Amino acid sequence: MSNAPAVIQVTALTKTITNSAHTVEILRGIDLEVPRGQFVAIMGPSGSGKSTLLGLLAGLDTPSSGSIILDGTEISGLSEDELAQIRGRKLGFVFQSYQLIPTLTALENVLLPSELAGVPGGQSRAMELLDAVGLHDRKDHYPIQLSGGEQQRVALARAFMMKPPILMADEPTGNLDSANGQHVLDLLLAMNRKEATTLVLVTHDATLASYADRVVRLKDGLIVGDELRA
């Protein structure tokens, strides 16, 4: 797998926040390459910069300096409209807090990425994904009618809707109890294998990270460990 071409290339990436009192360096020069198809877990203590790094990789934030190339496209200097197009085509994202639209049903939430992209005929794909996460019979329920575990399973289905080459997840089991967390993790790994995506996941959970092909550890805005697992 390590011989596969890099689908994510990060060079000299920094993120600095300045206010009237002082400057905070969140990321202090990150270099990282992720081969296509690899599952990478990013770990580190609170404040180490891991969620900031994931947000930058997803084009949800702008770096202070450095370069990010996603699946052959340099995203660091793109406009918000251009970034939205890249995210729509190349990225799926799973948030800790689910981020479902409360006024849409489970099926409508899963369909949303294809509708935003103007891609017709997404109904069968959405139903296939809801089947895969065991929620076929909950397709017409609204988020408020679903448990936390069910909402995260809807979010998983939505993330895979456009068959993205890259999936990013920020503490995807962080709001769930251990049983639901394990169920969501099992579904995430099974769907990731089936869809053959590259998975970049931020977690505090050593058990979750133990499933990864590779563990990258951050501390004080720097990579302090990069372990490739057998």
pLDDT tens for each residue of 67-117 = 999 999 999 889 989 998 888 889 999 998 999 999 999 999 999 999 988
pLDDT, tens digit, for every residue of 169-214?
999 998 999 999 999 999 999 988 888 899 999 998 888 899 999 9
pLDDT, tens digit, for every residue of 23-79?
899 999 999 999 999 999 999 999 999 999 999 999 999 999 999 999 999 998 899
Q: Judge whether 71 lies within some domain.
A: no
Q: Judge whether 20 lies within some domain.
A: no
- Compute CA 161 distance to the chain's CA centroid, rounded to the nearest angstrom: 13
Q: What is the CATH number of the domain that holds 141?
A: 3.40.50.300
Number of domains in the chain: 1
Q: Judge whether 134 lies within some domain.
A: yes
Query: Alpha carbon of 222 to those of 13, 42, 56, 196: distances in Å?
Result: 10, 12, 15, 29
Q: Are 171 and 93 in contact (CB under 8 A)?
A: no
Q: Judge whether 151 lies within some domain.
A: yes
Q: Judge whether 187 lies within some domain.
A: yes
> Which domain does 215 fall in, by range?
36-62+78-228
Predicted local distance difference test score (pLDDT) of residue 1: 42
Instruction: Band the pLDDT of 153: cuts 50, 70, 90.
Output: very high
C-alpha to C-alpha distance for 173 and 169, rounded to whole angstroms: 9
> What pTM was estimated for this model as a whole?
0.90
Q: Judge whether 13 lies within some domain.
A: no
SS3 65: strand
Q: Judge whether 18 lies within some domain.
A: no
Predicted local distance difference test score (pLDDT) of residue 22: 87
